[in-house]
Amino acid sequence: MGKHSRPGPPNQPSRAVPRVDAGDPLAAYNRRRRPPMDVWRRHRPLHGGGDHLRPDEPRALEEWDGFAYIPAGTADNLGAARAWANGTAPDSEAAAE
């Protein structure tokens, strides 16, 4: 195997990025607007550090707007932030405020 080869069988296409429709003139533009790693919502500790450390501290919630992550609100703890990021919160908009 070469130094820069991707993992997986060589006879299968990469699953990291979906295929681009050759007939769509805006395909390259739409591909650039996708969030990194297809993560539309994420959360970060307000005071820095690892995500798993201090689970009872508040979290900053961020959403992808097509160009960058923008602040969407705060969560009281790690559990609430994960529920919001996964979309399992009872009222996702209320959890962000």
Long-range contacts of 58-61 (CB under 8 A, 24+ apart): 61/85, 61/95, 61/96
pLDDT of 13 strictly over 90:
no
pLDDT of 19 strictly over 90:
no
Instruction: State the Cα–Cα distance between residues 61 and 16, nearest whole angstrom.
Output: 25
pLDDT digit string, tens, across residues 20-76: 677 888 887 777 788 777 788 999 999 888 878 889 999 999 999 888 899 999 999
Q: How confident is the model at residue 88 (pLDDT cuts 50, 70, 90)?
A: confident
